[in-house]
Structure 1
Amino acid sequence: MSYTLLTAEQLSKRVPYCTRHIRDYLKDRIFIEGYHYVRTPGGRRIFFVWERIESDLMNSFTKGGSIPMTSGGYFNG
């Protein structure tokens, strides 16, 4: 399966959050590394996996579900 990889700038055009909020808050608290985003070798660049983010966002809206957090809890919006 192929995935659409987006930079924080590209992701900010698809979701209602600014680039800085994605990089500073969502990346560390909401998104899970290896699932919602990946790092390039060396860890300098981060790419977000659009299909997984979109799926979790849609599930949270349609089913009243939550987005999993790295700490093991869930974000209920």
Structure 2
Amino acid sequence: MSHTYLTTQELSERIKYNPRTIRNDLKDTVLIEGIHYIRPFGGRKILYVWEEVEKDMRTSIKGTVNAMALQ
């Protein structure tokens, strides 16, 4: 399976969030290292795995919709 790796800037353009919001609010809370992003070669650079981010965005929407329907 091939993956699409994105920088923070590229991810921000796709999901329409400010790069600072991704780094400060989403990383390590919603976006988890090893699932949604990696640090290639143990470095400081972060690359986001687009397929995992997109999958979880869609799952979160379904969960929210289902929870709202139960109320």
Task: Assess same fold via TM > 0.5.
Answer: yes
Q: 1:24 maps to which residue?
A: 24
Query: How far apart, in 1, do the equivalents of 2:42 and 2:34 lie?
Result: 15
Aligned length: 64
Question: Which stretches in structure 1 are left out of the alignment for 5+ residues?
Answer: 66-77
1:42 offset after TM fit, Å?
3.4
Structure with a larger share of its residues in helix: 2
Q: Which moved more, 1:16-25 or 1:30-39?
A: 16-25
Equivalents in 2 of 1:34, 1:9: separation in Å? 19
- Residues of 2 paired with 1:21 and 1:41: CA distance? 25
Identity %: 52
1:43 Cα deviation after fit: 2.5
Give RMSD over aligned pairs: 1.2
Could you give the per-residue CA deviations for residues 12-47 of structure 1, whole angstroms, max 9, x where no partner exists? 001121001111221121111000000022321000
The TM-score normalised by the length of structure 1 is 0.75
Which TM-score applies when normalising by structure 2?
0.81
**1:8 lines up with 2:4 in the alignment:** no
Query: Which runs of 4 or more aligned residues in structure 1 lie more than 6 Å from their structure 2 counterparts after TM superposition?
Result: none
Letter aligned with residue 63 of structure 2? G
Write out aligned runs for 1:27-46 (5 A): 27-46=27-46
